[in-house]
Amino acid sequence: MTRVSPSPDQDMNGPVPSRGRAPIRHWAALLLPIALAASLVGCAPTADVQGMPAEVASAPRVVREAYDFAVAHPEVLTQLPCYCGCGAIGHTSNYACYVSGSDTDGAIVYDLHATGCSICVDITRDAMRFLDAGRSLPEIRAEIDRTYAAFGPSNLP
């Protein structure tokens, strides 16, 4: 009796069901829209970033929104720490990750640190979300401390 080995697509009982791998043409059809969307992120300047440095204006939407929030709500972000380690560069709150002060004419001087730091932006986005949910500043601070303390020391003095 001659034994015939099954092909990779069969076992002794017949065809083997797919192991969850989609055909290549299926993946190609998915990748094109994803690549197109990724290439468009940050391409359309918005009115809310007028006057901000080019690095902020060309940053992803979530970063621009965080900068907008920082400028509009210093009373919130000056009360919240950052845990990315930026205290070593003189930052004293999450607000300092976005704004370093003002010039002699009173114009905002932006700090570009948060354009490349996801922890800074995540803390700000959490604060935005918690404020929208009606949470108080002490509740927000407690949640930020609980969530981010594992990343590094607080930069609040």
Per-residue pLDDT of the chain (157 residues; tens, 9 = 90+): 555 555 555 555 555 555 555 554 544 444 444 443 443 343 333 334 458 999 999 999 999 999 999 999 999 999 999 999 999 999 999 999 999 999 999 999 999 999 999 999 999 999 999 999 999 999 999 999 999 999 999 999 7
Q: Measured between alpha carbons, how far is 68 from 124 in angstroms, rounded to an integer?
A: 10
The pLDDT value recorded for residue 67 is 98
Q: Measured between alpha carbons, how far is 20 from 18 in angstroms, rounded to an integer?
A: 5
Q: What is the pTM of this model?
A: 0.68
Contact 98, 112 (CB under 8 A): no
Q: Is 101 helix (H, G, I), strand (E, B) or coil?
A: strand
The pLDDT value recorded for residue 19 is 53
- What is the domain partition of the chain in residue ranges? 52-151
The pLDDT value recorded for residue 10 is 53
The pLDDT value recorded for residue 51 is 80
> Which residues is 101 bridged to in the sheet?
109
Closest CA to 99 of 124, 73, 136, 70: 70
Angle (nearest 5°) at CA 84 between 80 and 87: 70
Q: Which residue has the tokens 């509740």?
A: 139
Q: What is the 3-state secondary structure (H, E, C) of 102-156?
A: ECCCCCEEECCHHHHCHHHHHHHHHHHHHHHCCCCHHHHHHHHHHHHHHHCCCCC
